[in-house]
Amino acid sequence: MAPKITDFVEDAGAPGIIAGIGAVLLAPVVIPIVTGIGKPIAKSIIKGGLVLFEKSKGAVAEVGESWEDMVAEARAELAEGRQLPVVDVVGSPVDNTLDNGV
């Protein structure tokens, strides 16, 4: 059964009815003011998010490069200590077989 308008009026009482009428009368005045203030705030939040995203991309790239450098140095030290050949991890394809090439 669909709710009736009289149910809402009875539940809201006099203060609710007065507040509803006030909201309907003030909406044409308040909405443009809120929109005028809200749009620049929303734009500045979006700009800040874009700047943060761009900076984080650079930071992630630097961390990735540092990680690759550390891995290469570690492999070189291992190869130097064990007399193993140095492997180029960036240029070599990844072997995803479960038998490890056996």
pLDDT at 6 over 80: no
Between CA 47 and CA 40 the distance in angstroms is 10
pLDDT at 69 over 90: yes
Q: Above pLDDT 70, what percent of the chain?
A: 68
Give the per-residue pLDDT at 92: 54
Q: What sign results for the dihedral spanned by CA atoms 14, 16, 20, 23?
A: positive
User: Is the pTM value of this prediction over 0.75?
Assistant: no
